[in-house]
Amino acid sequence: MKLTKTAMLAATLALSCATISLHATPANALTVMEWLNGKKKQKAEPLPGVTTGVALPGAETKQAAKPLPRVTGPRYYTYKADALKRVAVDTLADPVVTSSISADVAPAGDAGVRAAFSTVDVRATPDAAKAVETFYGTQRKFVWIDGTGINDKAKTAIAVLADAASVGLDPWDYAVKIPAESFDGADMNARYSELAAFEVGLSAAVATYVQDAVRGRIDPNRISGYHDFKRKEVNLVAALKNVAMSSNVRGYLESRSPASGDFRALKAELAKLRAETSGEDRVVIAEDTLLKPGQSNPELANVVKGIVKHGSDALKTDHSLAIATYKDTPEYTPELVALVEAFQKENGLKPDGVVGKASIRKLTGGDSVADKIAKLEVALEQARWLPVDLGARHVFINQPAFQVYYHEDGAEKFSMRTVVGSKSNQTYFFEDKVQTVEVNPYWGVPQSIIINEMLPKLRNDPSYLDRMGYEVAVGGRAVASSSVNWYGSTAGVSVRQPPSGDNALGELKILFPNSHAIYMHDTPSKSFFKRDMRALSHGCVRLAEPRKMAAAVLGISEAEVGKEIAAGRNKALNVKADIPIYIAYFTAWPNKDGVVEYFDDVYDRDSYMRKAFTATQKARQGEG
């Protein structure tokens, strides 16, 4: 089908929104008529967010050859972990050391224990240190000490902290020096100092563990500008009081990690992989392999081995003759093409018989055990950023999977393919609530696209947008594209594409208002959904079946959605239900059957998470 000019423009602009937040300067756009009528020349102003480009007095005046302005997106940061803070319990010795406590540690006497507390040098994360100080400001009995030794509650807590790796945490973050069972009775002051340090140290470790288990070790907002989360608040003083009163310390501490089915599946997968032997019987296919039907390639033997190892029994039964008669030859025959196509279809890939990167990933079983463990550790950490309960009805987008999942009544009802932001226009990681479905939408072109992609054309041809059917306004007043000074600031210039069959947003968009201008929408570029790698947009999320998703969140039928679209009017339909949406990023995540699936790290975000883990470890060991 031949595309119209407007459709061609929409395709060129990747048919989506951008993810750039601008701090714009006031508009400074002269029209050609104002300049010709003798208006005072305006002072040259830079375009918003850029350092190149100078405003010229008229649109038809050609600027000297200089680099075109660019608007850039958020950046990734060098992770800064919180430095440890000394727990100031020396000033709290008097309220802690009462006659009741002294009786527990007889024959120390108040003076001996008080002296021991005043010399304690325990360091913890800022929140944990503050909580311990507050806790011991009113606490009237030791939590972890009985007499001159540690109690069973302490031993239980230590065991849970030592097993922190099972839930994706680092046991070294909660390590405490344990007093020896035997000691020199002639030097009780040394023993009291040892016990006091242990009492405070274990409380600090427990507080740190509780906070990490609930909200994670890593502050997502310190990873990059693409991460947008309000960190959970954890009442650590209350946690310490609960531990002090609890008769089941293990149960309490273990309950601090998320209890969702997704988290449990990730945890179980991690335990399973860690139990596996290091020796892996893996199929290896050269990474640069690209095998097409009719070609000859020695890697074909490994391709067939991969299908035998990772294909289903049903697939291998259907193609048993091709598998049985194959003799490791390099010729890619029609029978083997049919075998590969069946394997691709079974694994959700485009069944074209072309063996490339995506097919190789499935044929080789994906990541190594070590790679999978690393992805699980990141996934367990990131899962703590999300609410404990995602909601019985919610939408979950997993960017590395290029999929969106709709849940209702606590179960996945359907999923569909998506297109997400490209690596240079990444989709953010955040949560929100679905509010509106807009049918026959306008596309408001973001400033980043105006500057980065339209401006070069407009400087050569100011009437470009007029011909393409776009609407232009300066300061809210509709003007012709040809009348705008495209060498001045575009901060006050708005561009939008009216509803049409060529509209970049297609038939509808689904809004969850956020500061990143990200939403879900339809697209005329349906062919993109046939690709395996679908990080192709400017940041918004395109849906393969937009009517289906719109009907689900509105609680109506697809036919009713179709009627609204057929009416031809731009119309906003309010979503009445409370439906949270998670625009997430997990390279390991369970499917609806609880089986953990692994995905390519399309934005390389896991590497930044691992750097954050290292920075946190160093800070907590006093190296940072």
Catalytic residues: 521, 540
CA distance 533 to 402: 8
- Give the strand order in the sheet containing 471-474: 443-444, 493-497, 471-474, 477-479
Q: Which three-class secondary structure string do you get for 318-361?
A: HCHHHHHHCCCCCECCHHHHHHHHHHHHHCCCCCCCCECHHHHH
What would the two tokens of residue 298 be?
Answer: 């020695």
428: enclosing H helix or E strand: none
- Residue 135: closest CA among 83, 89, 84: 89
Q: Burial letters for 403-438: b for 16+ Cβ neighbours within 10 Å, e otherwise?
A: bbbbbbeeeeeebbbbbbbbeebbbbbbbbbbbbbb
Residue spans of beta strands (DSSP E) within 434-503: 436-439, 443-444, 471-474, 477-479, 493-497
What would the two tokens of residue 521 be?
Answer: 């929408």
Q: At what angle are helices 188-215 and 236-245 packed, to 10 degrees?
A: 120
- Residue 221: closest CA among 113, 92, 91, 76: 76
CA distance 412 to 23: 40
- The angle subtended at Cα 343 by Cα 337 and Cα 347, nearest 5°, is 145
| DSSP-H helix ranges across 347-398 | 357-363, 369-383
The three-state secondary structure class of 232 is coil
Kindly report whether the peptide bond that precedes residue 293 is cis, defined as omega within 30 degrees of 0: no
Residue spans of beta strands (DSSP E) within 426-499: 430-433, 436-439, 443-444, 471-474, 477-479, 493-497
CA distance 457 to 473: 18
Q: Tell me the one-letter amino acid at 310.
A: H
CA distance 197 to 232: 29
Is residue 107 within 8 A of residue 147, CB to CB? The reply is no
- The angle subtended at Cα 57 by Cα 52 and Cα 62, nearest 5°, is 65
CA distance 454 to 458: 6
In terms of residues, how long is the chain?
Answer: 624
Q: Tell me the one-letter amino acid at 410.
A: G
CA distance 507 to 524: 9
What would the two tokens of residue 50 be?
Answer: 């850029």
Q: Cα dihedral angle (143, 200, 95, 117), rounded to 10 degrees? A: 130
* Chain CA centroid to CA 475, Å: 36
Burial of 66 (0-12, 13-18, 19+ CB in 10 A): exposed
